[in-house]
Amino acid sequence: MTVSSAPGKVYLFGEHAVVYGEPAVPCAIERRATVSVEQRDDDRLRVHAEDLSLDGFTVEYSSDADATPDVDASESLVRAGVGYVDAAVSQAREVADAPDAGFDITIESAIPLGAGLGSSAAVTVAGIDAATRELGVELPATELADRAYRAELAVQDGEASRADTFCSATGGAVRVEGDDCRAIEAPDLPIVVGFDGGAGDTGELVAGVRALREEYDFAADTVESIGDVVRRGEDVLAVGDLEELGRLMSFNHGLLEALGVSSRSLDNMVWAARDAGALGAKLTGAGGGGCIVALDPTDETKTALQFTPGCEEAFRAELDTEGVRAEGP
């Protein structure tokens, strides 16, 4: 058996705009998805998933493209649980030139599914790493990130960006602009995450921004303005000015709100964090529900979020400087 883990992430700046070639700055956090892989003697896949903000379940099915998993669960549940795993397995088979390789796969994750913390990217990165190593191939982090991006691109109907998978593969803070991905320096960040227990529909939210951008010139200008915030944020991050960083994060949230991707629960958590003295706060990820990220070196924001209606969980999330890694056997 081969085991790999990969971190989730928060966006300091740039979600949604990154889809249109603007830069984005996500950073890895110390919440991980762990994928265990053991090769079978047939071409079937057996996937057991735990802790994905879903009830645990197990499915088994063949690699036949026309086959569907035989499981007593909704189609959306199955798609959420195994879609990225299928794409990861496809990439691993291609790398190792083993088109008929079958696997028993177990997924455990401390990252809420669909909440803007990069759960799908972490599962995909860890899945490809574990499956390729199980087949005797070890990929460098940059190629692993590219393979994971291709997997997400297939699952998300061509709407994925390289940001999540590159960040999960390499760790730390990264800058992504189109196909250009690179690590950047970042100070220790006093990150606090608030989670409303929900999940936005990434595809629907991305499509909504696209429709606005095509209909209104000022919506396209808003997307470009997010890119300008990111560029300013990079400079601020480099010198470690946390107060200005927080202000820019809050400004970024306002632009995302104008694009219609926030929600009442996210806005409530953002304002609760600001009222508690956070340096800044914004949604992270696609929006529509899920998580916010705030900067606060004190305990005030975490405490305030814990008493905010609609917030199910609040926690600190240290910057994770390590990306994908091999775990024990």
The residues that are catalytic are 164
Q: C-alpha distances in angstroms, 123 versus 31, 50, 216, 303?
A: 12, 12, 36, 30
Please tell me the distance from the alpha carbon of residue 100 to that of residue 86, in angstroms, as a whole number: 13
Identify how many contiguous H helices and E strands the chain contains and give both numbers. Answer: 9, 12
Bridge partners of 35, per DSSP, are 4, 107
- Structure-token pair, residue 69: 């998993």
Q: C-alpha distances in angstroms, 137 versus 45, 98, 123, 328?
A: 19, 11, 18, 17
Find, among 56, 14, 54, 10, the residue nearest to 31 by Cα. Answer: 10
Find, among 186, 187, 142, 188, the residue nearest to 165 by Cα. Answer: 142
Please tell me the distance from the alpha carbon of residue 72 to that of residue 70, in angstroms, as a whole number: 7
Please tell me the distance from the alpha carbon of residue 269 to that of residue 313, in angstroms, as a whole number: 11
Q: Pinpoint the alpha helices (H) of the chain.
A: 75-96, 119-134, 141-155, 163-170, 202-215, 217-239, 242-258, 264-275, 300-306
Please tell me the distance from the alpha carbon of residue 272 to that of residue 304, in angstroms, as a whole number: 6
DSSP labels for 50-81?
A: ESSSS--EEEEE-S-TT-----SS-HHHHHHH
